[in-house]
Amino acid sequence: MKAAKKPPATGNTSPTPQLDALIQAEPDLVDRIFDYVVELVPDIAARREEVKQAIRDEFAGERLYVAKRESGDRLGERILALFNGRNASEVARQLHVGRATVYRKLKQAGRA
């Protein structure tokens, strides 16, 4: 009978070393967002762990979709390309914006 191979000793006593390695290799969204915010507002770095924990507590268990916002001009162009005169609600759904945004962009372009 073969003896089971032991993983190399790393000093890690975590019950989930593979998960820990993945987390270290690929930071989660909260870590990435916080690192970005620290670049913009260096004063917040002193409260790093406190703020990250507050964010995790607030949004724990939620599945989020972070939409990429387009510049106003590009969004207006896409709305004009999709709008057929009667499908404002459908255009809004496709572009993940509100109907009011569709109408505002149409008005700015002189189409409403």
Which residue carries 């670049």 as its tokens? 39
Taken in order 101, 104, 106, 111, the sign of the CA dihedral is positive
Least Cα distance to 70 among 79, 61, 57 occurs for: 79
Query: Hey, is 62 helix, strand or coil?
Result: coil
> Digits of tens for pLDDT over the chain (112 positions)?
454 455 555 555 667 777 677 666 666 778 888 888 888 888 988 988 888 888 888 888 887 777 666 676 788 899 999 999 889 999 999 988 899 999 999 998 876 6
pTM (two decimals):
0.40
Which residue carries 């989930």 as its tokens? 16
> How does DSSP classify residue 68?
P
**Domain ranges (residues) in the chain:** 17-59, 72-108
